[in-house]
């Protein structure tokens, strides 16, 4: 069911420093910062030959990553994103297996303009998992 690793998301407390780290120190191609008001974050994508790193920085007072960053002062891996062909079929299969979908359970449009879902970390080895239909 799952396909490629689409990205690994890292929450950061200093976006400029993280961009400089990946662009200047690591020599990666780094996107412009994009505000995602529907998701309460600013995103920057680091393009690697085989996947992407999504740098996440809080946007607004009730950003969903604020609590994570309060606990992880240096930032940290926030979630991983797997690609699926059909997000509704993937959701139904996971629900039938007893897995929990976060939020309403309906896919919403993610940072790439594609339908996404988040899965409960307790069902996935302590890892927050995003599914993206590609
Ligand atoms: Co993501």
What does the pLDDT read at residue 94?
Answer: 97
* Helix, strand, coil fractions of the chain, as percent rounded to 5: 20, 35, 40
Q: State the total domains in the chain.
A: 1
Segments forming the whole domain that contains residue 90: 5-133
Say how many Å lie between the CA of residue 110 and the centre of ligand 1.
8
Say how many Å lie between the CA of residue 121 and the centre of ligand 1.
14
The pocket of ion ligand 1, defined by CB under 5 A, consists of 9, 54, 81, 130
Say how many Å lie between the CA of residue 25 and the centre of ligand 1.
23
Q: Is the pLDDT of residue 111 over 90?
A: no
Say how many Å lie between the CA of residue 79 and the centre of ligand 1.
7
Task: For residue 130, indicate whether it is catalytic.
Answer: yes
- What's the pLDDT tens digit per position in 63-99? 999 999 999 999 999 999 999 999 999 999 999 999 9
Interior/surface letters 44-61, b for 16+ CB within 10 angstroms, e for the rest: bbbeeeeebbbbbbbbee
Contact residues for 102 (Cβ-Cβ < 8 A; gap 6+): 117, 118, 119, 120
- What's the pLDDT tens digit per position in 35-44? 999 899 999 9
Q: What is the pTM of this model?
A: 0.94
> With pLDDT > 90 as the criterion, what percentage of the chain qualifies?
94
CATH of the domain at 121: 3.10.180.10
């Amino acid at each position: 069911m799952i396909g490629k690793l689409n990205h690994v998301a890292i929450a950061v407390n200093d976006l400029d420093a993280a961009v400089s780290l990946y662009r200047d120190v690591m020599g990666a191609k780094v996107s412009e910062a994009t505000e995602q008001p529907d998701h309460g974050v600013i995103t920057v994508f680091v393009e690697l030959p085989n996947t992407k790193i999504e740098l996440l920085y809080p946007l607004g007072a009730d950003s969903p990553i604020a609590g994570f960053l309060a606990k992880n002062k240096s930032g940290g891996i926030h979630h991983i994103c797997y690609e699926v062909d059909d997000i509704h079929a993937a959701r139904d299969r996971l629900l039938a297996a007893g897995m929990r979908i976060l939020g309403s359970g309906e896919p919403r449009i993610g940072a790439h303009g594609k339908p996404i879902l988040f899965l409960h970390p307790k069902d996935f080895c302590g890892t927050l998992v995003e599914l993206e239909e590609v």
